């Protein structure tokens, strides 16, 4: 397997050095694995911190900036960051208004962020935590107790980030983040396996002509394998799975997300089928985002995330944002 890397041991550090060179508006601490807004801490503003294993880019470091995260902590590939990273980030970006940790529901992330919260509070930082668990495909997967955290992480970071930038207090920012998570559901599909730099070959066996319905972002098994399906058939299965669980009664925010190796040509075609299913189910769409946002290295595939909106959540979604991977309105 050919990879555009030097050696597996330096993949994350090399990527962070490249990110620093491309985005001078960020402060990138390569040695300590923390990416921050250069203007942090912002006086009077609640700070948002997230993180997780590398390999899901642009999640999370690509979402650091005005309107989203104050800092992100990248771990090794598919490996949780360590508590020292989160504590260092919290100390650097806390303005005194408190810090919200946004945590995807994977066992390592949950345990390490819990420990980091305790350590940060010992140092005088007020910390709140929100767990993202939006994946409807399976419960109690290889890395989780309960549902996995996937595409809704982007929605939580953007909408809660807007509330924080408007000066909302920690309790309110936390409540908004929880509301977004509770109003969101996701379902993912793999068309190929994923290849990690350390292994250099596919991490699981997915024979040609088959796909995995309900895959996780680390390549965890889904609900079932089937012979290859058309874009229309995949949309029918995935969107119905989300809608049957979410049962929205108001307009939705849609994320049609690529897993890393699926071209935009295919994602936009898939979005057409997603929108068809939503129309057939009489679900109104307020906004749609299409692209590779919550990825799994070189996996071919896609995921669908829906978030049921009210007027305030839609207003916060539309608020200005300026990060490497998401920007509008500024």
Catalytic residues: 56, 218
Tokens of 105: 């529901």
- Measured between alpha carbons, how far is residue 292 from residues 37, 234, 243 in Å? 22, 18, 22
Residue 57: name the closest of 321, 277, 261 by CA: 261
DSSP 157-202: HHHHHHHHHTT--HHHHHHHHHHHHHTEEEEEEESS--B-TTT-SB
Omega of the bond leading into 158 within 30 degrees of 0 (cis)? no
Return the percent helix, strand and coil in the chain, to nearest 5: 35, 25, 40
Q: Give the closest residue to 230 by CA, choosing from 279, 283, 282, 269.
A: 269
Q: Token pair for residue 47?
A: 């700070």
- Reported as type and span, the H/E element at residue 115 is helix 107-122
CA pair distance 63, 16, nearest whole angstrom: 14
- Bridge-partner residues for 244, per DSSP? none
Tell me how far apart the 2 most distant CA atoms of the chain are, in Å.
55
Strand residue runs (E) in 264-317: 285-291, 301-308
């Amino acid at each position: 397997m050919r990879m555009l890397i030097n050696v597996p041991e330096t993949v994350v550090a090399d990527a962070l050095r490249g990110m620093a060179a491309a985005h001078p508006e960020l402060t990138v601490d390569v040695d300590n694995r923390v990416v921050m807004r250069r203007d942090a801490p912002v006086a009077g503003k609640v700070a948002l911190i997230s993180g997780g294993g590398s390999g899901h880019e642009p999640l999370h470091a690509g979402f650091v900036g005005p309107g989203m995260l104050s800092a992100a902590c990248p771990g090794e590939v598919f490996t949780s960051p360590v508590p020292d990273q989160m504590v260092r980030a919290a100390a650097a970006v806390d303005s005194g208004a408190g810090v919200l940790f946004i945590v995807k529901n994977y066992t390592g992330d949950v345990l390490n962020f819990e420990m980091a919260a305790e350590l940060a509070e010992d140092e005088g930082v007020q910390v709140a935590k929100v767990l993202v668990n939006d994946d409807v495909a399976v419960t109690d997967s290889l890395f989780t107790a309960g549902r996995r955290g996937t595409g809704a992480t982007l929605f939580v970071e953007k909408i809660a980030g807007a509330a924080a930038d408007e000066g909302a207090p920690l309790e309110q920012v936390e409540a908004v983040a929880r509301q977004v998570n509770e109003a969101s559901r996701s379902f993912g599909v793999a068309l190929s396996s994923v290849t990690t730099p350390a292994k250099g070959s596919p991490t699981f066996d997915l024979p040609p002509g088959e796909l995995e319905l309900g895959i996780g972002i680390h390549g965890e098994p889904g609900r079932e394998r089937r012979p290859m399906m058309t874009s229309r058939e995949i949309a029918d299965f995935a969107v119905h799975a989300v809608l049957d669980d979410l049962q929205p009664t108001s307009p939705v925010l849609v994320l049609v997300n690529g897993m890393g190796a699926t071209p935009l040509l295919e994602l936009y075609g898939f979005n057409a089928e997603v929108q068809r299913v939503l129309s057939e189910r009489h679900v109104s769409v307020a906004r749609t985002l299409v692209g590779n946002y919550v990825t799994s290295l070189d996996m071919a595939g896609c995921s669908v995330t829906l978030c049921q909106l009210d007027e305030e959540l839609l207003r916060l979604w539309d608020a200005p944002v300026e990060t490497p991977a998401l920007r509008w309105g500024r």
